[in-house]
Amino acid sequence: MEIEVVSTEKGTLCRALEIKAGGKKVRTPTRALNLTRNSKVELDATKHLVGTKFTPFAEVFARVTPDVLSKIIDSDPTGQRFSSELNLRLNQSREAGAVPYLVLQLTNNDGSPYNQVPPKRILDLLFNLLWGTPGNSFVVPPLLGALQNESDYVGLFKMLKERIESRTERRELPLVGLVPSSYRLVAPRLIQGYWNLGCRLFAFDCENKKTAAFGYVLEKLHQELTPLSRGSREQYALHALNSKFRTGRGDTMRVNDLLSPGFGFDSYGPNHVTRFRWIPQRPLSPLQNNQLLSSTTYGFVPMEAVASGDASSDTPGLRTRALAATTRTELRQASAASARNLSVAHNAEVEMTEISKFTALVESGNLMKHYEGKPLVAEEVQVMRKVGARSLDTERQESLSEWFGGG
């Protein structure tokens, strides 16, 4: 994996990179499409955007449990079917023009976070799936939840290192450094260990929280990575895993993950954190329960507003192929699954259309100005301005010069 700084936006944390991975070149800022074994709605909705001019990442995600992994170990047909389903999504993403990668999340059998390093038998299978599934562009370490201490993360790293060093003539896949989201666990020996293994893309688990909440943790991460980058004269990139899609409620509901470049992330992926939601006494209808992202405001319009005629696919900010292909009658009669898929398709198309412009906006120094034109994220823009100014003052500029492409 090779990383080159293309441009930076003065006075901000926004920058444009060129990342060579999986035989393709990805320009950042960018977003990873969301695919699972059961769904490729986002890929289908954005195929017309993905290609030679815009090459995003594509995240193929699978949540697994000890029971599921035990069945894979004990039953060859089960394992073959599981691996084939992942391979299919990886290949579909690559054929569409994206750079696909595989993410495996281990949870307890009841779906709760695993939060520990699994037995060697389970970890070996996870590694074999990550390295052995054809079509994977780079290896993201398995997501195990929030490990308890530094020794757990170092222990996982040591097993990854053993796996890499034991490779013989197999195709080498770049490894992504998995960074803990806890300040006290961003350990120098862990970060340096990943760097020494050749990691230049570092994945940070945002745990479905607002990006701004991790500013001080990212600052510490930069303090560890900057000397390593300076010493080798190589760039590194930051990728947000499980980034929070939106925040706020009602009229204040607004997008969150599209703002990741302003907080120092070069790319971000979809959110897979299991959320235990409060269920109202009177359940919401499918149209009330799904929201449509507006590119004009970066806020959301209730789907029922489109069904009632208060908004439409001709409304500025809501013009997507997914919405235009659905009549009001079809919308009013939509099942919960259909309404959900339409919301996913529309929101993905809006996000990918927006972020496909971001590289050019950074190069012209106008990404922050672009954000400022979105009224519902004015508060976040102010924070991004303050973070950028504070991080780029004279004292910090020298230590971050390599990250921003300086000498």
Which amino acid, 107? T
Q: Can you tell me the distance from the alpha carbon of 250 to that of 253, in angstroms, rounded to the nearest whole number?
A: 5
Residue 122, token pair as written in the block: 């389970």
Q: Give Cβ neighbours of residue 223 (< 8 Å, ≥ 6 apart).
A: 399
pTM for this entry: 0.91
Cα angle 69-61-28, degrees, rounded to a multiple of 5 = 145
Q: Can you tell me the distance from the alpha carbon of 399 to that of 172, in angstroms, rounded to the nearest whole number?
A: 32
Q: Can you tell me the distance from the alpha carbon of 152 to that of 156, in angstroms, rounded to the nearest whole number?
A: 6
Residue 383, token pair as written in the block: 């924070």
Q: In CATH, what is the architecture of 2-274+287-391?
A: Alpha-Beta Barrel (3.20)
Q: Can you tell me the distance from the alpha carbon of 2 to that of 120, in angstroms, rounded to the nearest whole number?
A: 32
Residue 58, token pair as written in the block: 């594509």
pLDDT of 393 reads 45
Question: Which parts of the chain sit beneath pLDDT 70?
Answer: 167-171, 274-282, 390-407
Strand-strand pairing, 254-255 and 246-247? antiparallel
pLDDT of 400 reads 45
pLDDT of 72 reads 96
Preceding omega of 280 cis (within 30 degrees of 0): no
Parse the chain into domains and list their residue ranges. Answer: 2-274+287-391
Q: Which residue has the tokens 């499409």?
A: 33
pLDDT of 150 reads 87
pLDDT of 75 reads 95
In the DSSP assignment, the letter for residue 206 is -
pLDDT of 214 reads 80
